[in-house]
Structure 1
Amino acid sequence: MTFTEITPSATIEDARHGGRAKCLQRLIRLDMPVPRTVALSFDAVHRISTGDMPDLDAMLALFGPDPLVSVRPSSEDPDWGGPGAILNIGMNDAVHAKLISTHGEVAANALYLRFIQAYAVHVGRLDPDEFETFSIATDDALRAALDLYEEETESYFPQDPKEQLAEILRSMARAWEGTTARLLRQAKGAPADAGLGLVVQKMALGVGQNTCGSGVIKFVDGRTGHRKIRGRYLCKSQGRDALAEEGDRDVMYLTKDSRGRSIEEVLPENFANLVKFGDLCRTRLREEMEIEFTIDNEELFILDAVRVQRSERANVRIAVSLANDGIISREDAVLRIPPRALSELLHSQFDPTDKRDRFGLGIAASPGAATGKIVFNARAAQAAAAKGDDCILVRSETSPEDIRGMHAARGILTVRGGITSHAAVIARGLGLPCVVGAQDLMIDEKQRKLATRDGRSFTEGDVISIDGSTGEAYAGAVTMLSPELGIAFQTLMEWADDFRDIGVRANADTPPDARNARMFAAEGIGLCRTEHMFIDDDRLLAMREMVFADHADDRRAALDRLLPMQRADFTELFEIMQGLPVCIRLFDPPLHEFLPHGREGLRELAEALDLPLRDVERRVAGLREFNPMLGMRGVRLGITVPEIYDMQARAIFEATVEASKRGDPVVPEVMIPLVSAKREVEIVKARVDAVAAEVRIETGADFTYRLGVMVETPRAALRAGEIAQHAAFLSFGTNDLTQMTYGLSRDDAGRFMGEYVSQGVYEEDPFHTLDTDGVGELLQIGAARGRDVDRDLTLSICGEHGGNPESIRFCRDAGFDYVSCSPFRVPVARLAAAHLALEDYVRKDLATD
């Protein structure tokens, strides 16, 4: 016998028979009235696909002399899908005649017609449109359906229940084995050899008189997670008809309702049992379940129970509620929430029920959704914000000049760029939805138009919507769902922090960033990019004066204007972080980034500096480099133009003294970027130490600080042992390290990266998921060589990979102390770290047993 009747003691396993079969056994063990059911294992279904049938005579004998059964799929994971259920197998002319006498002609016709339609479409592979025309179950419609089947197949509709069941089982098995189905479930994360089980269940008809029917009931709102009875019941229906049926024909409410009769009032005993079964599912199966049921002549049958479909915000509330009620452990609650799912709680999302008109697709660079009027430059974005208008900043690509416009916008859309491009990195730091690399879009800045390749056109002021979680852009406004950071979220994150064993800091450049970092319980700032502090108009002009200065004294004069501003910035950061560590990266980008690009901007600069336009143009041209990201930037600027780092070091130490007077002692971390040689660290460290000594003497205050290196060149990783002699910490900047290791521009890689991944050149975009083989080996080498010199050397990563769960796994296994990521990714990192610690604990526990 190649099937198993599902009984309380039968050997039914998820990994052999699928989740539905195992769930039905659990319901039976809880004494729920489940109709007789048999299960076919994955192996049996595979053999059916090759023509090897089980003993169908023995199977059908379990269901009586005139068997009427349903067949439903049972995969290991319900999200992997499977063929649709088929009801009323066994219906034929003889059974139809008997049902007319017991249930009436309308009910009998409905059962037979439904089965003919399902059999014709799923087994006969006939055109569903032709058979769906028979919507009213009259005797004429039934005969017409049988005639149409005969005409299309040149054979009579099968009358033998055994033949019917055999063909349906074969059809469902082969559908699962087909190429299209295999690719679809692999896209959902199923292994290539995932199996399918099938369950054959006696029909509970639900088409009798009066209140006979079918319905579904759940005890929680799938959108919010709040406890509430929801569902639908439809008289004279089967299966999940109640959910698919439109209109209010023969509908009964579940609970008392002023609009009409309800099961609670008309069938109180059935209702009480449904509530009891729902509680049993919650307490014994430890899950909120949606129960499918049939009531036939006031007798209740439970056909199936599945996990309630839910939003991520509901999932968090449900998991925390189950743990608070003692039904599951806190560890289980934490493990039930996928880390990446937190993005739905942290950002606004589009209402999935709202209609959308997509006009563009790019790379999902920063999660969340936004709606606003199109603007094409930073000034327009600021003007829109000043008027109270929401806007979407649309650019070919962004640069530091766009920072203020990015702050003013609700979302960002760029034609070029990748996952670590300027727009993507800044948007994630700000918590702004961002779509980059939408290559099918074209911008005409003069005409202020956005065009698509299929001829659509949008002008400045038109309303669009973008989804930074999917990379899609839509015409018009889409209904929004607000973020959800309620008590359940906070509770879950507190539990996660109890379990994780690697630190999580935030990349934060400004006071608002720092406040977000505190809001998301970051353990400090792991990367403060100081160049973002120079973008405001008053600072930008001083910065440009410094760039144009010919002598060190002139540069110092310009930087003296910036010193109090930097000091105020750092003081505020230290006060917001309240004694938590703050790692400040010294100035990194090439100087040309602070100069205007267009002729109008150059003219304005010449006027501000009181210089001839030609002199300004000549100086800007002189600063241009063939490859500026590999040129005069980072520590190279600190050595050749040391006045910049001197000013920043002084600002940091003076802010340290000031902030320590008003709050917890501050121990700043000063980080040198783009290092490739030990001597670079020695030179900068000597100057920073000298500035620290000056500030101690001038203020009469003592303080400590830690100096470290940002490892973002392959050579720095390889020579980490030498560099660590002069550093208290090494923080791996994986954005640049990936770029240099691969020889890829992170701003341009998006143009071809999709093709590379699809053809298997790279498993994933290395700017999105840390390359643990190549780049990862450099991290391991650097970490090992650094720790060989100094066992207490602090190790971290501060690139955008820091918020990626897979990258956190790598860092944790490599013995890193913390990861740092954008503030809005901090909760994701905290939860991912907790998952890793708990999974490790479970593995060790199993190994001990």
Structure 2
Amino acid sequence: MPAKASKKKKTGAVKRKASSKAVKHVYAFGKKTDGNSKMKTLLGGKGANLAEMAAIGLPVPPGFTITTEVCTHFSQTKGKYPAGLDAQVKAAVKQVEKEQGKLFGSKTDPLLFSVRSGARESMPGMMDTILNLGLNDKTVVALAKKSGNERFAWDCYRRFIQMYGDVVMGVQPRNDTEHEPFDVVMDKLKKELKIENDADLSAKNLQELVKRYKALIKQRTKKSFPQDAYDQLWGAVSAVFGSWNNERAVIYRQKYNIPSEWGTAVNVQAMVFGNMGDDCATGVAFTRDPANGEKVFYGEYLINAQGEDVVAGVRTPKPIAQLADEMPHAHKELEVVRKKLEKHFRDMQDFEFTVESNTLYMLQTRNGKRTGLAAVRIAVEMNKERLMTEKVALSKIPAESIDSLLVPIFDPKAEAASKAIAAGLPAGPGAASGHIVFSASTAEREVKAGRKVILCRVETSPEDLKGMLASEGILTSRGGVSSHAALVARQLGKVCICGASTVKIDYEKKTLIAGKTLLKEGDFISINGTSGEIFAGAIDTTDSEVKRVLEGNLKPSKSYTYRLFSTVMGWADKYRKMKVRTNADTPEMAVSAIAFGAEGIGLCRTEHMFFEGDRIDYMRQMILAGDEKERRSALKKLLPFQRKDFSGLFKAMKGLPVTIRLLDPPLHEFLPHDDTTRHQLATKLGVSRETINERMKALHEENPMLGHRGCRLGVSYPEITEMQARAIFEAAASVMKLKKPIKVSPEIMIPLVGFQAELKDQVEIVHRVAKEVMAAKKVKIAYTVGTMIEIPRAAITADEIAEVAEFFSFGTNDLTQTTLGLSRDDMGGFFDDYRNKEIFNQNPFASLDQDGVGKLVEMAAEKGRSVKKNLKLGICGEHGGDPASIKFFNSVGLNYVSCSPPRVPVARLAAAQAAL
């Protein structure tokens, strides 16, 4: 059935409507279950897993799922539903009524529903939820009578009106400074009654609150709160489908590359109540610790509460272990469920549960969001437990998450010298320091100004996502380890502390008080997401355990984290096909990259070698030279520096391949741009300032990126290419003649080639210099000469260029700029608009534009290898460290990717996942 539905979607709305009776839009779960866990594309993750839990005998309240295809139809037709959906929904409601023995909208024993979203990829908190649907002025009286608990019934009604009024009817703050309207109404009533806690409101008080809530809705929307149960249901379903395109959901999709066309399913499920009394509870639990991956039952719960109370952070819940004392039977049942879920789904699960009158119900399960450290530990330990194969374990670790094992931690001495001002629940491990900010908008503004920030909130909500993305870390004074802040922080890889109850945050005064310490917005604060400790001021950081082991400063046996890292990297190297090199310009960078597992240098930018000490003056002297003789004189002074640099690189790489790109940027980049430095240079070189100014005017270009640079410099000034080639070969000869000779195979890369003739011109110079050096030094150096493919013409004529080149390396930074006609330095003015309208699903300079730039890469690879079957292909742009791009490069058949040293582990893991 899913395949048929997919075909219908492509034929257009008119044809779909005509044949919609044949399409199944609604899938039941409960005693009658239509779906299973393999149907996530159609039912979303939540719907598919609810069906699966019901099928394996777990206590799931019955319900039904409206498919993701309906969401797509709803979006494409601007809010219309396919014909036949209404009848299918009514039939599904009748099935739930039959299983529950209650009637939807009944005035004697009403059936209530929860209405929740459920995309195929979990998006916690990003879309909308409605609970207690079906209550109205008459059914609330029936619920009170049937349950024998009047307060419980009116508490459910006020919750439903608040959720429905916010999500469906749009009663929300008018601006950033206004508080939540429903909270304002409640706070006013509590103040009148001199009550502090919501739980102290009596049934009579709640009736008054319901009256005021309905008046607020009428005032804000000019509409009355709906009393018909089916009107409520369709309003909620439409709101959930609509929330697929709300701002926070769009931002989340962009962050995690979730296609907008996937849509969300809607899950309508019979309500069970954790807020009927002290024999009721609700909670969120994980089969393992999602922060560090430890195999412990992890989670939290609240007695006499509904699920939103736990995740919203309104009350700080209790740890799940405490449930063993308060509700031993329920805790014992949950332990059985925990083991059954892991054994069945073969992954760490994040599940929600409710206990109603001492009876356990399962409301959802999903593969749990976890930190990078937890992802690695869970994969390794589940492999040992034979719950995952090596291949499956590798696939469960997001490649980016390996970074979290390498990020700095607080320097132990500096941390020990600092006194913690408070502590909370460690929800996202690591260390972070930054300026205090109290709102998402301030966080964004400060980060754009170049400052690091810590977002401090009483509790976060989905609207805070932009600020959470921008911040170094997140601190909340309320909420537990399954609150919104904790869930999203783990997903984003952010340092996070939740539920720091002794911290008092005042948004109006813009202050944070912890004990006797008063901090203001803009002050520095430091948080340790591993221990939960909070410090005033900034604390110095140091390298992680893994990095210290890699650099020889800590024994491997002293670090369990390193052993986890080593195991995963071993698996990755076992299964990947592509090599992983590094972009490095100095011996220090090269040594660091080798420690991270680099198998060579894919890009050495020689221009970076010209900026140190006196060499910049010689470079400037060469540029300002009036003729070739003067130019050669300056280049002669630069030669020893280049030779020494290359010798250092060759020694550091110990025989691994080194790709050296000849001079690439335009010459004006090496000249001073301020009058003081120009005057100093004129004095040093013995020339007038006028001479320097005239030369700079002559070098001026309207568009330097497309100007006199790369191989064009070598064509105009062949002596530059000669000097660099000589330095490379003389350095190679020197290390080959050491007491302990080092094998060297330099790969010389000519940049910015667009014509075969350009490459021929430069290759001839390199070959001539190589012969001269080998004859003089009496050595034979194995070397290759290739080119960087970074302009579209090179890709289009790659077969011609391959006749001369011995390898291609794709410079995807410039290839993206020249293909898109887009400067990465000048896209700030419109990038947000393009991203918000999903013209750009992601930054094309961070993740390869596979449909555009990728086609050129694929074309160049095919054309090049049509001339030279074994032509070596690599990529050295920033995309070489991006997992999605690496997957594409693997499919094209590249031999290697090259990235910055710290990204090497990510690239190794991503390459293995691409191969699998």
Shorter-chain TM band: 0.7 to 0.9
Give the corresponding residue for 2:100. 63
Q: Deviations over 1:383-422 (max 9, x none)?
A: xxxxxxxxxxxxxxxxxxxxxxxxxxxx9xxxxxxxxxxx
1:363 and 1:663 mapped to 2: Cα distance? Answer: 53
The residue type equivalent to 2:147 in the other structure is L
Give the corresponding residue for 1:83. 128
1:27 aligns with 2:53: yes
Query: Is the 1:30–1:280 Cα contact (8 Å) retained in structure 2?
Result: no
Q: Deviations over 1:402-458 (max 9, x none)?
A: xxxxxxxxx9xxxxxxxxxxxxxxxxxxxxx9xxxxxxxxxxxxxxxxxxxxxxxxx
1:123 and 1:779 mapped to 2: Cα distance? Answer: 47
Task: Note the C-alpha offset of 1:463.
Answer: 8.7
Of stretches 707-716 and 44-53 in structure 1, the one that deviates more from structure 2 is: 44-53
Q: Deviations over 1:343-390 (max 9, x none)?
A: 55555688699745656869999xx99579xxxxxxxxxxxxxxxxxx
2:703 and 2:723 mapped to 1: Cα distance? Answer: 27
Give the corresponding residue for 1:54. 90
1:190 and 1:48 mapped to 2: Cα distance? Answer: 26
1:271 aligns with 2:331: yes
Q: Deviations over 1:717-744 (max 9, x none)?
A: 4444443333311223333344444555
1:128 aligns with 2:176: no
1:695 aligns with 2:773: yes
Give the corresponding residue for 2:320. 254
The 3 A distance-change label for structure 1 pair 301 and 793 is closer
The residue type equivalent to 1:75 in the other structure is G
Give the corresponding residue for 2:647. 571
Match of 1:144 among 208, 211, 226: 208
The 3 A distance-change label for structure 1 pair 99 and 719 is closer
Give the corresponding residue for 1:73. 116
The 3 A distance-change label for structure 1 pair 352 and 124 is farther
SS in 2 for 1:509: coil
Number of aligned residue pairs: give it: 720
1:701 and 1:35 mapped to 2: Cα distance? Answer: 77
SS in 2 for 1:608: helix
Of stretches 479-488 and 235-244 in structure 1, the one that deviates more from structure 2 is: 479-488
Task: Note the C-alpha offset of 1:277.
Answer: 2.0
Task: Note the C-alpha offset of 1:98.
Answer: 4.4
Give the corresponding residue for 1:645. 721
Q: Deviations over 1:494-531 (max 9, x none)?
A: 32333332333222222233234323322211111101
Give the corresponding residue for 1:520. 596
Query: Is the 2:115–2:236 Cα contact (8 Å) retained in structure 1?
Result: no
1:191 and 1:640 mapped to 2: Cα distance? Answer: 50
SS in 1 for 2:682: helix
Give the corresponding residue for 1:97. 145
Give the corresponding residue for 1:222. 290
Task: Note the C-alpha offset of 1:315.
Answer: 2.9
Task: Note the C-alpha offset of 1:587.
Answer: 1.7
The residue type equivalent to 1:696 in the other structure is M
The 3 A distance-change label for structure 1 pair 253 and 344 is closer
The residue type equivalent to 2:634 in the other structure is A
Match of 1:6 among 19, 30, 36: 30
The 3 A distance-change label for structure 1 pair 722 and 371 is same
2:118 and 2:263 mapped to 1: Cα distance? Answer: 8
The residue type equivalent to 1:54 in the other structure is K
1:279 and 1:230 mapped to 2: Cα distance? Answer: 13
Give the corresponding residue for 1:624. 700
2:446 and 2:800 mapped to 1: Cα distance? Answer: 40
Of stretches 340-349 and 642-651 in structure 1, the one that deviates more from structure 2 is: 340-349
The 3 A distance-change label for structure 1 pair 593 and 93 is closer
Match of 1:797 among 875, 879, 884: 875
1:653 and 1:809 mapped to 2: Cα distance? Answer: 35
1:146 and 1:630 mapped to 2: Cα distance? Answer: 67
1:721 and 1:139 mapped to 2: Cα distance? Answer: 81
The 3 A distance-change label for structure 1 pair 605 and 198 is same
SS in 2 for 1:710: strand
2:541 and 2:619 mapped to 1: Cα distance? Answer: 42
The residue type equivalent to 1:73 in the other structure is R
The residue type equivalent to 2:801 in the other structure is I
The residue type equivalent to 1:39 in the other structure is F
Give the corresponding residue for 1:325. 385
1:213 aligns with 2:281: yes
The residue type equivalent to 1:197 in the other structure is V
Q: Deviations over 1:600-622 (max 9, x none)?
A: 11111012113333333333334
TM-score (norm 1): 0.73
The 3 A distance-change label for structure 1 pair 227 and 647 is same
2:686 and 2:671 mapped to 1: Cα distance? Answer: 16
The 3 A distance-change label for structure 1 pair 797 and 364 is farther
Of stretches 695-704 and 52-61 in structure 1, the one that deviates more from structure 2 is: 52-61
Give the corresponding residue for 1:529. 605
1:657 and 1:798 mapped to 2: Cα distance? Answer: 26
The residue type equivalent to 2:687 in the other structure is L
Match of 1:304 among 361, 364, 387: 364
Of stretches 823-832 and 602-611 in structure 1, the one that deviates more from structure 2 is: 823-832
Give the corresponding residue for 1:499. 575
The 3 A distance-change label for structure 1 pair 535 and 27 is same
Q: Deviations over 1:639-683 (max 9, x none)?
A: 443332222222212222333433541111111223344444344
SS in 1 for 2:809: strand
Query: Is the 2:144–2:152 Cα contact (8 Å) retained in structure 1?
Result: no
SS in 2 for 1:671: strand
The residue type equivalent to 2:53 in the other structure is L
Q: Deviations over 1:38-79 (max 9, x none)?
A: 324438995799754514455324223635544242524332
Give the corresponding residue for 2:782. 704
Match of 2:342 among 253, 277, 282: 282
1:171 and 1:740 mapped to 2: Cα distance? Answer: 48
The 3 A distance-change label for structure 1 pair 240 and 482 is farther
The residue type equivalent to 1:254 in the other structure is I
TM-score (norm 2): 0.68
Q: Deviations over 1:7-66 (max 9, x none)?
A: 38654544454433432344345544x254132443899579975451445532422363
Alignment of 1:462-481 (within 5 A): none
1:818 aligns with 2:896: yes
SS in 2 for 1:79: coil
The residue type equivalent to 1:218 in the other structure is F
The residue type equivalent to 1:736 in the other structure is D
1:337 aligns with 2:397: yes
Alignment of 1:720-739 (within 5 A): 720-739=798-817
The 3 A distance-change label for structure 1 pair 83 and 582 is same
The residue type equivalent to 2:773 in the other structure is V
The residue type equivalent to 1:285 in the other structure is F
Task: Note the C-alpha offset of 1:749.
Answer: 4.6
SS in 1 for 2:336: helix
Match of 1:667 among 735, 740, 745: 745
Query: Is the 1:51–1:170 Cα contact (8 Å) retained in structure 2?
Result: no
Give the corresponding residue for 1:597. 673
The residue type equivalent to 1:128 in the other structure is F
Task: Note the C-alpha offset of 1:175.
Answer: 1.2
Q: Deviations over 1:748-780 (max 9, x none)?
A: 354455556667877766545545555455444
The 3 A distance-change label for structure 1 pair 782 and 180 is closer
The 3 A distance-change label for structure 1 pair 326 and 4 is same
1:115 and 1:192 mapped to 2: Cα distance? Answer: 30
1:833 and 1:203 mapped to 2: Cα distance? Answer: 46
1:48 and 1:350 mapped to 2: Cα distance? Answer: 54
SS in 1 for 2:365: strand
